[in-house]
Amino acid sequence: MKLTFTIQGGDFTHAGHPSSEVKKVLKQLNIDNKIIKNVVIALYEAEVNVVAHAYSGTVNVEIDENKITILVTDEGPGIPDIDLAMKPGYSTASKSVQEMGFGAGMGLPNIKKNTDEMWLETEVGKGTKVKMLNYFA
Amino acid sequence: MKVFELVEELGLKVFSGHKGLDREISGGYVSDLLSDVMGNAQEAQVWITLQVHQNVMAIASLKDLAAVILVSNLEPQENTKQNSDEENIPILGTSLPAFEIAGKIYQAFNR
């Protein structure tokens, strides 16, 4: 099964919509609740990263018998230093984004913690791709 | 303990999400950082916060929280209330700051 969503940079109103849809689908498929929780946390963080930092993005979800693979691709500024971005507590979010309670520097670490595998590809000035994989068993 | 029992016991205001007042509460979580709540809050907890915008409801719904409690007389934004009604997750309010309301809820749970 394949699902696709688009994300608009700066649009906090709709942040969480893809996560919510994926959660519904996984529930219908009777996937283990703990795995659904992990997937939802990781996808929500990836969505917020696009909303907070990029201009636009797409979420491509692929669900098969034993795993879910999610690719979040954005057009945005890219990440100059991945190691630093992966460090809990490090954030480049704007002050207004931080005042909303985002930008605590926990996004990428939360993604890593809640996925079985994670890949990050980025090019400064172009954008970032985050691929997340969770096995169902 | 159900949400409406907590409302009665602590005299909380109910802003929205009335249909969710019979949700069962498993405990509480205090934080204003959304990623922290996303990563660490547990299902059916009440979330004590000063954030009033609608992303609060997105997180409450994704995490299946029992209710959101706004501290220090803060009020939810209009679209936050709408989401709360749609998701049937109540938004409650108190005049107390986070430390005090958390203490009272903790006591209510450990009696």
Here the tokens at position B79 are: 């679209």
- Whole-Å CA distances, A41 to A37, A97, B60, B75, B101: 6, 19, 12, 27, 27
Task: Quote the mean pLDDT of chain A.
Answer: 96
Query: Is the predicted pLDDT of residue A65 greater than 90, yes or no?
Result: yes
pLDDT per position as a tens digit, A77-92: 999 999 999 999 999 9
Domain harbouring B11, CATH code:
3.40.1390.20
Domain harbouring A110, CATH code:
3.30.565.10
Ordered DSSP codes for A36-87: HHHHHHHHHHHHHHHHHH-SEEEEEEEE-SSEEEEEEEEES---S-HHHHHS
Q: How many domains does chain B have?
A: 1
**pTM, full prediction:** 0.93
Return d(Cα B111, Cα B104) in angstroms, integer: 11
Of B39, B58, B79, the CB nearest to A15: B58
Here the tokens at position A36 are: 């659904």
Q: Does B9 touch chain A (CB under 8 A)?
A: no
ipTM for the complex shown: 0.89
Nearest CA in chain A to B53: A100
Q: Do A100 and B55 touch (CB under 8 A)?
A: yes
Q: Do B35 and A104 touch (CB under 8 A)?
A: yes
User: What residues have CB less than 8 Å from B8, skipping those under 6 apart?
Assistant: none
Task: Quote the mean pLDDT of chain B.
Answer: 96
CA distance A123 to chain B (A): 25
Domain containing B56 equals: 3-109
- Whole-Å CA distances, A119 to A69, A71, A89, A115, B109: 11, 9, 20, 10, 42
CA distance B66 to chain A (A): 16
**Residue written as token pair 């879910």:** A68
Domain containing A47 equals: 2-135
pLDDT per position as a tens digit, B24-77: 999 999 999 999 999 999 999 999 999 999 999 999 999 999 999 999 999 999
Return d(Cα A119, Cα A130) in angstroms, integer: 6
Q: How many domains does chain A have?
A: 1
For testing the chain B interface, which of A37, A44, A86 should be mutated: the one with the most B CBs within 10 Å? A44
Return d(Cα A80, Cα A108) in angstroms, integer: 14
Tally: H helices and E strands in chain B: 5, 5
Query: Is the predicted pLDDT of residue B110 greater than 90, yes or no?
Result: no
For testing the chain A interface, which of B36, B38, B63, B84 should be mutated: the one with the most A CBs within 10 Å? B38
